[in-house]
Amino acid sequence: MGIKSEIKTIKKKDAALHSTIEVILYPSFWALLNHRIAHKLYIKKMFFAARLISQFSRWLTGIEIHPGAVIGNGVFIDHGMGVVIGETCEIGDNVIIYQGVTLGGTGKETGKRHPTIGNNVLIGSGSKVLGPIKIGDNVKVGAGSVVLKNVESNCTVVGIPARSVKRYGGCANCDVDNPADCLDQIRIPDPVEIEFDELRKRVYELEDAIAELKAAKAKED
């Protein structure tokens, strides 16, 4: 993926962009360009040079991407400060990642220890996706969520730990094909509220049943 493709992605994803030249001011632009170079060096086992570039990029952008991470096309890191992407992380195409996101490991295990992110995924601000888990295609991770288990495709997950609250084809809130184009990371159901609503409904049903039993007993007496 070249410079033109990176510019096209940013112009598509960020409505705040007023001119093409502004792209050079975006942390995502430099972080991903530097990562492409660092990753090529990493593959050639030039580990020190690869890490040197990634650390310079971290200093420049506030985005930390290990040179071993595999990143697809059309990825956009919005704002980006505090984003961390681990060594064995794999990210698919057309993914948007907001500031403060961690795609990290959970220990000192070797081998695959970071998440695999599918295509057309939105990962909301401050979310943590941890361990060698798989996030399917067309998934929306709500802001502030902590994802510790696999997520099926076409789901919205939210909470700590994250739970699936909705399945859908395309984005539930926008007239677009996938969450990464919708960009909506907050208009999602609250699983705690849903559970309380179900409990409240059940309490009302039980109270009505008890009232009917009391009325029937009163007639018998």
| pLDDT-wise least confident of 2-11, 168-177, 189-198, 200-209 | 168-177
82 Rama sector, left if φ>0, alpha if ψ -120 to 50, beta otherwise: left
How confident is the model over 153-174, as pLDDT tens digits?
988 898 888 888 766 644 555 5
What would the pLDDT profile of 24-73 be if each residue is shown by its tens digit? 888 999 999 999 999 999 999 999 999 999 999 999 999 999 999 999 99
What is the C-alpha separation between 186 and 142, in angstroms, rounded? 6
Residue 52's Cα: distance from chain center in Å? 27
Cα 204 to chain centroid, rounded: 37
Mean pLDDT calculated for residue range 6-29: 82
**116: pLDDT confidence band, cut at 50, 70 and 90?**
very high
Q: How confident is the model at residue 181 (pLDDT cuts 50, 70, 90)?
A: low
Scan for tokens 């890490």, then name that residue: 51
Output the DSSP codes for 134-159.
EE-TT-EE-TT-EE-S-B-SSEEEET
Which whole-number Å values give the CA distances from 104 to 4, 9, 76, in the listed order? 29, 24, 18
How many residues are present in the chain?
221
200: left (phi over 0), alpha (psi -120 to 50) or beta: alpha
Torsion of CA 89, 135, 13, 50, to 10 degrees: 0
Q: Which two tokens stand for residue 152?
A: 């099926």
Strand order in the sheet with 70-71: 70-71, 90-91, 116-117, 134-135
pTM beyond 0.85, yes or no = no
Q: In this structure, are residues 113 and 48 in contact, taking their beta carbons and an 8 Å threshold?
A: no
Residue 190 has pLDDT above 70, yes or no: no
Check: CB of residue 75 under 8 Å from CB of residue 89: no
Tokens 């064995």 belong to which residue?
88
> How far apart are alpha carbons 27 and 166 in whole angstroms?
32
